[in-house]
Structure 1
Amino acid sequence: MARTRHSDRETNTANSPVMVLLVLIATLGILLYAGFLLNPANRGDLLPYLMVIVAEVILIVQALFSMWTILSGGRDPRDFAFHRAQAMLLQAASRATSTTTPGTPPPRPEQVPMKLDGRRILVDVFITVYGEDPDKVRRTVAAAVALRGEHRTWLLDDGRSDEIRRLAAEEGAWYVRRLSGNGAKAGNVNHALSIAKGEFFAIFDADFVPNREFLFETVPFFTNPLVAFVQTPQTYGNLHTTIAIGAAYMQSVFYRFIQPGRNRFNAAFCVGTNVIFRRSAIDEIGGMYSDSKSEDVWTSLMLHERGWQSVYIPTVLAVGDAPETVEAYSKQQLRWASGGFEILFTHNPLNPRRRLTMDQRLQYLVTGSFYLTGICPLLLILVPPLEIYFDLRPMNLSITVFTWLLYYSGFYVMQIVLAWYTQGSFRWQTLTLATVSFPIYGRALLNVLTGREQKWHVTGAGRASSPFNFIIPQVLFFVFLALTSVVAIWRDADNGVLTLATAWNVTNTLILGAFVLTAAREARRLAHPRTAPAIAPVVQETQRITVIARPAGYDPGVPASVGAPRLATEASS
């Protein structure tokens, strides 16, 4: 029960008095800043003014929706039916232990039958693999095999690695290998569903090590026959690089406050890992959505359109790896942004034909348009050079710097204060990544608008390339802004006054410079790698089982505790 109380504290944080007060003040600051910008009397030259308006309106609208969603959270999705089902689940385990024949060892926790609504259930646990480090895969597989409650662990290897196959055998997991990579991760899962026959199935990425209690904290929600999936947060344990820290904290507010708020609207969506599905719900929509590299959000959208419900709990039940390199981060964000833009431009949630509630329409609209906020820094970065080189100003000359900063601070400073309160500190790495990622999101938008196919990339898989192969636009912008800063400082020195444009441009230069410096350090680290220390496996005891071909007459629907792991291939399925 300690875990549940901890989860309650996490859930209630969103509606704590201080949090509500900060959100309300931040909302007021957003509205005042919007009024200031849109006041015709404050308008300056048309081009920079329109650039500021477009960028800031996108940011303001997203911020207002975030405030609304956060204030909607705080309701614990664990109702009486959940607690009753969980108690029966635990009771079944206790009864199995107490009735063990004297002299025989009690069943292992992962072999104890689970019962939901009085019937025994079978859960398949899928671990998707595509070229990840075998040591990482082993830790995840070992932890998945040891999950409390009867289940069967499947290692779905799209990398077709014999080393991964041996690993599965050593850890006591079933191994599935496809002969093709159609549908990427979604296709991998759909192929496994043609072999595994559990009533429920969980999905973990190869680098997300699940907590032993994952099934007991999530399965009871399915006592509600309308629940299609239960999602838990992504939390990271490798925060030792600038990229990893920035990427992790960029998502933390989403998982701690936005997703719980979406529960109120039945609009919390799957994030691809640390999730468990009801098999019949996925069957109804024809399997995991495979026409997008963001199969998770699209699958959620298809389920919600069919009237299924989703549940999100903020309890951390798996810990994984954030992208550590510029390459991994760029590929991850490109994939995610492409999925969001696909929803916005090819499956507009506001279309009357979509069978969604109005709340769901708005939440998916926010999801589809969110990555536009990542393109906004591009417009704002170009505003100071317009003044420095062409004397074009976004605001009326009668507006003093103090007045502008007052309204600007009401918007941005409150966002920082809110992030500081929720995270316990301010992460400059997050601000840096949010500012310099516009080439990634711009490319994603262009790909979607032109229908260009995006190749599937796994975050952190394979040998990392030089980071400068992925940040050429950022380097060019840094050089341009650095030269512009020199020109601006020279101009201000001649005029004897420091202008806002110069301060703004120098700030942007420093942010881009910090990112370029991070890339340079990463390139040096890749050129001179250090041997990583060995990491002890999560589960010390492993069951060594020989991997053999699937025998004739094999019934994948038998309980997980019956039989030994086998090798299944696409050809034999």
Structure 2
Amino acid sequence: MARPAHDYARVDKHVPVTRRAETADPYSPVMILLSLIATLGILFYAQFLLNPRNRGDLLPYTLVIVAEVILVTHALLSMWTILSGRKSPREFSFHEAKRLMFDKKAIKAAGLTDNPELWPVLLDGKKTDIDVFITVYGEDIEKIRATATAALAIRGKHRTWILDDGRSDDVKAMADEIGCYYIRRLSSNGAKAGNINHALSIAKGDFFVILDADFVPKPEFLVETVPFFVNSNVAFVQTPQTYGNLVNLVSRGAGYMQAVFYKFVQPGRNHFNAAFSVGTNVIYRRAAVNDIGGIYTDSKSEDVWTSLVLHERGWKTIYIPKTLAIGDAPETIEAYTKQQLRWATGGFEILLTHNPLSPKRKLTMDQRLMYLVTATHYLTGIAPGILLVVPALEVFFDLRPVNLDITWQTWLLFYAGFYLMQIVLAFYTLGSFRWEVLMLAAVSFPIYISALWNALVKKEQKWHVTGSKAKAQSPFNFMIPQVLVFVFLVTTSIVSVWRDLGNSQLSLATAWSITNTFILGAFMIVAIKENWHINHPPKNLVADPVEYLVDDEPVARRTTVIVPPELADELGVPELTAAKRTATPTHDSDTTDAAGVEQDSDQKEAAAK
């Protein structure tokens, strides 16, 4: 039986933030205590490393210091951020705006009681126009359909638009079928950011939601986000990326890897007005985006860059740790590699071209530190690669990071005080130890080294989507460095074990090498299995019909949409319903009218007359 792409009725057992976790207080006394103990562990380990009496040979000691300073600094800043997030961003003004969001008497008088997706949205007593943008670039059409259908059912009057940079006639026909507006452009300049900016030249809402094609929104998306905008200084409200496809080691590792960030770090950044957009499941104030000249287009990490520019202009941003859309994590090594490469390159670009510590940046000191953490975050992914070299230096050259007076038990005590507490903290956050996270964190350093190089040489990044329907390539095409490192570690471990047998004593270098070999080996096994499945796809597989659920209730597929008179006047198009539309696809135009019908040159000339 084919697994539904998105099924809210069953997703809780997969996603890192479950409904039970959402209703529980993440800042419980136990969580705060663990954070404080972890902080002490970090400090004790740092003191141990920096003590001159413990210093060993220069080269391995320098490598350890460089790697661990990166890790310790980020761990301390993360603890600080986490412990700063106790206060909820929902103040009295939010709750009051939420209470007054819908005029129940007017809704009943208009006969719309049973059509919550048509209820006019009131903000500060005024009707508000909202657009929902679904960015599309070659994803599977059924994923797009699921997202669009759920978007149409969001409570509160809004317009749902499919922004198709994949220029697919099938997607256009599907949009026409279910009643979405459709926009296609000829060029792909600016990638996703350019796609959104182009849509903003057509759609005229006061606020706009951005959803990736594989993120299915819940009906209450607007109800839980729009009331924040009663504060006129709020630029956007971001919600978490939660995943419903944690079905293999790669997707689980990629999904759970972000759980601590979305549950604790992003809420903490609210305290410093430094929460940033992650590109999907977010709603923007149009006036704020207009203030900075549109979504940032000079980087494939348009979300973080747009947030940075908004903060420099003095806008306020809000993050709420409430799952309002469920999407797909990368399921293959290829997809994971491309995703991380794009994200990391964007972070390093900020560090190298827009350093937050520069006096030119109009940021508060808190914001400078938060963006410095963001820009250098992926250095923590390079650190494990640096540490892989240290055992080999001892095995082959008898060079040690600490002096011979330090026993391996003493080293392990301080080492565990740092790393073990990080694992305990993650264990408490996720509900169990996720070794998939450890595996991906240990093997991703070649990706981040490549990203740093891309940022240094300003290499243009190609746009890749998580849900692309293109045929998967062999994972070994994307992990040649990991394969070479694995061969090196196997060799080092064999030599190290042989040496220890001769000395009749197990060394820390041997234990370290064997541990790293097993972690890289696990990744090799994942790649071999994935490669086998790519080369041996299931035959004669008939997919069962897929029913997409939202809060355990089937989403109705509406087939008509009426262009409001005021919108028709504004955009110069007649009132149409989906059933009456006729659409003849043309590929020589980057103009699409509000009803989703592309205009050729004759049509545009007639419309102008």
User: Per-residue CA shift, 1:244-280, capped at 9, x if unaligned?
Assistant: 0000011000000000000001000000000000000
Letter in structure 1 aligned against 2:36? L
Describe how 1:172-187 pairs up with structure 2 within 5 A.
Answer: 172-187=179-194
Q: Decide whether the 8 Å contact of 2:180 with 2:561 is kept in 1.
A: no
SS in 1 for 2:73: helix
Letter in structure 2 aligned against 1:47? L
Describe how 1:89-488 pairs up with structure 2 within 5 A.
Answer: 89-90=101-102, 92=103, 94-100=104-110, 106=113, 108-461=115-468, 462-488=470-496
Greater CA drift, 434-443 or 162-171:
162-171
Residue 88 of structure 1 pairs with residue 100 of structure 2:
yes
User: Per-residue CA shift, 1:344-373, capped at 9, x if unaligned?
Assistant: 110000111111111000000000000000
Letter in structure 2 aligned against 1:65? L
> Offset of 1:437 from its aligned partner?
0.2
Show the counterpart of 2:537.
529
Q: Decide whether the 8 Å contact of 2:129 with 2:158 is kept in 1.
A: yes
SS in 1 for 2:386: helix
Residue 519 of structure 1 pairs with residue 548 of structure 2:
no
Kindly report the root-mean-square deviation, in angstroms, between the aligned alpha carbons of the 2 structures.
2.3
Show the counterpart of 2:86.
74
Show the counterpart of 2:502.
494
Letter in structure 2 aligned against 1:76? S
TM-score, scaled to structure 2? 0.89
User: Per-residue CA shift, 1:114-151, capped at 9, x if unaligned?
Assistant: 11111111100000000001111100000001110000
Q: Decide whether the 8 Å contact of 2:137 with 2:165 is kept in 1.
A: yes
Residue 510 of structure 1 pairs with residue 532 of structure 2:
no
Q: Decide whether the 8 Å contact of 2:153 with 2:555 is kept in 1.
A: no
Distance 1:79 1:37, change over 3 A: same
**How many residues align structurally?**
560
Aligned equivalents of 2:572, 2:313: Cα separation in 1 = 30
Greater CA drift, 532-541 or 456-465:
532-541
SS in 2 for 1:567: coil
Residue 544 of structure 1 pairs with residue 583 of structure 2:
no
Q: Gapped runs of 5+ residues in structure 2?
A: 1-17, 579-593, 605-609
Letter in structure 1 aligned against 2:106? A
Greater CA drift, 456-465 or 307-316:
456-465
Aligned equivalents of 1:324, 1:222: Cα separation in 2 = 36
Aligned equivalents of 1:451, 1:392: Cα separation in 2 = 37
Describe how 1:10-89 pairs up with structure 2 within 5 A.
Answer: 10=22, 13-89=25-101
Distance 1:562 1:115, change over 3 A: farther
Q: Decide whether the 8 Å contact of 1:178 with 1:570 is kept in 2.
A: no
Letter in structure 1 aligned against 2:487? V
> Offset of 1:327 from its aligned partner?
0.4
Show the counterpart of 1:3.
none
Distance 1:547 1:219, change over 3 A: closer
> Offset of 1:308 from its aligned partner?
0.3
SS in 2 for 1:89: coil
User: Per-residue CA shift, 1:232-254, capped at 9, x if unaligned?
Assistant: 00000001110000000110000
Q: Gapped runs of 5+ residues in structure 1?
A: 1-5
Aligned equivalents of 1:352, 1:243: Cα separation in 2 = 41
Distance 1:557 1:63, change over 3 A: farther
Q: Decide whether the 8 Å contact of 2:179 with 2:561 is kept in 1.
A: no
Aligned equivalents of 2:339, 2:498: Cα separation in 1 = 40
TM-score, scaled to structure 1? 0.94
